[in-house]
Amino acid sequence: MTELITLNRRDLLKTTTGILTGWVVAGTPLALIAPARAWAVNLAAFTSSEGAALMRMARTIAPHDKLDDAAYALVIQAVDADAGKNASTLKMVKEGLASLGADFAASSEDERVEALKKIESSAFFQTMRVKTLQVLYSNPIAYAYFGYEGEAFSKGGYLFRGFNDLRWLPEVPAKDSGPLPARA
Partner 1 sequence: MARIEFQDESAVVIIGSGAGGGTLAHELTRRGIKVVVLEAGKRQSTETFSQVPGEAFLQLTWLDARTQSGDWGVAKNFPTLPAWHCKTVGGTTVHWTAATPRFEPWELRAKSTYGNIPGASLIDWPISYVELKTYYTLAERRLGVTRRNGEPGMPASNNFKVMYAGAKKLGYKRVHTGHMAINSRARDGRGMCIQQGFCVQGCKMGAKWSTLYTEIPRAEATGNLDLRIESTATRIEHGENGRVNAVLYRDAQSREQRQRARIVCIAGNGVETPRLLLLSDSSKFPQGLANSAGQVGRNYCHQIIGFAWGIFDKPVYSWRGATLAGVIEDEVKNDPSRGFVGGYRMELCTLDLPTLPLVGLPYGWGRDFASIIDNYRNMAGMLINGEDMPRAENRITLNRDVKDGFGLPVANVHVDEHPNDRAMRKHAQTQMSRVYESIGAKRVVLGPTTPATHNTCSARMSADPREGVANAWGQTHDIPNLFISDGSAMSTPGAANPTLTIVALALRQAEFISREMKAQKI
Binding residues for partner 1, rule: CB under 8 A, are 60-64, 113, 116, 129-130, 132-134, 137-138, 142-143, 146-153, 156-159, 161-166, 168-172, 175-181
Closer to partner 1 by CB, 27 or 147: give it. 147
Closer to partner 1 by CB, 27 or 162: give it. 162
Least distance to partner 1, CB of residue 128, Å: 9
Least distance to partner 1, CB of residue 107, Å: 15
- Phi, psi (degrees; rounded to nearest 5) at 38: -100, 145
Q: What is the DSSP string of 124-135?
A: HHHHHHHHHHHH
Q: What does each C-alpha distance from 85 to 79, 81, 114 come to in angstroms?
A: 10, 6, 31
**54 burial class (0-12, 13-18, 19+ CB within 10 angstroms)?**
buried
Determine the Cα–Cα distance for residues 38 and 43; give it in Å rounded to an integer. 17
Closer to partner 1 by CB, 10 or 175: give it. 175
Find out whether 85 and 152 touch, Cβ atoms under 8 Å.
no
Closer to partner 1 by CB, 27 or 170: give it. 170
Tell me the β-bridge partners of 41: 20
Closer to partner 1 by CB, 35 or 157: give it. 157
